[in-house]
Amino acid sequence: MNVSLQDWLKFGWLREHRTNSQEIAELLAAADRDLQDCQTPGLSPDWRVSIAYNSALLSATAALAAAGFRSGRGESHHHRVIQSLAYTLGAAPFLIAHFDAFRKKRNITGYERAGAVSDQEAQEMLDLAKRLRADVQAWLRANHPSLVSG
């Protein structure tokens, strides 16, 4: 079965959303801020992953908004934003699975058990967030140039 974001809308997983260049710029500026903040010396790997994850989620949210949608609320909100990358950017299944694995890891470290993240994992999440930020910028320029400032 070939599912689309329009199908997600019918399922109630998304809401239609009309964005503008200011909203996209604000989302990407927040993603950039988090990319910087997660590299602050002295932060634990748990926090570095959490902040880099937030950066990546903001980038994915910008792509979803540019496509005309906003995720619904609830426990699957982050999962849907991550999975939407297949429809917005055409992201590879590996990237989406890797990002979703960090979503699960972040939930464990944020709510159940501190210290479960290694320095290597923190670097992997940072690298993923940087890549996704660049991919979203390139996708916006190619597909929604009116939403890109400068």
In a domain, 126, yes or no: yes
* Per-residue confidence (pLDDT) for residue 150, from 0 to 100: 62
Q: For the purposes of burial, counting CB atoms within 10 Å of the CB of 81, is it exposed (0-12), middle (13-18) or buried (19 or more)? A: buried
Please name the amino acid found at residue 67. Answer: A
| pLDDT digit string, tens, across residues 107-127 | 766 555 566 788 999 999 999
How many domains does the chain fold into?
1
> CATH no. for residue 53?
1.20.120.330
In a domain, 74, yes or no: yes
Q: pLDDT band at 38, cuts 50/70/90?
A: very high
Structural domain including 80 reads 17-145
Query: Three-state DSSP class for 16?
Result: strand
Residue 122: name the closest of 60, 47, 31, 55 by CA. Answer: 47
Residue 103: name the closest of 64, 36, 150, 50 by CA. Answer: 50
In a domain, 117, yes or no: yes
| pTM for the structure as a whole | 0.92
Cα-Cα-Cα-Cα torsion 43, 105, 91, 57, nearest 10 degrees, comes to: -50
Cβ-Cβ contacts under 8 Å for 110 (sequence gap 6 or more): 46, 50
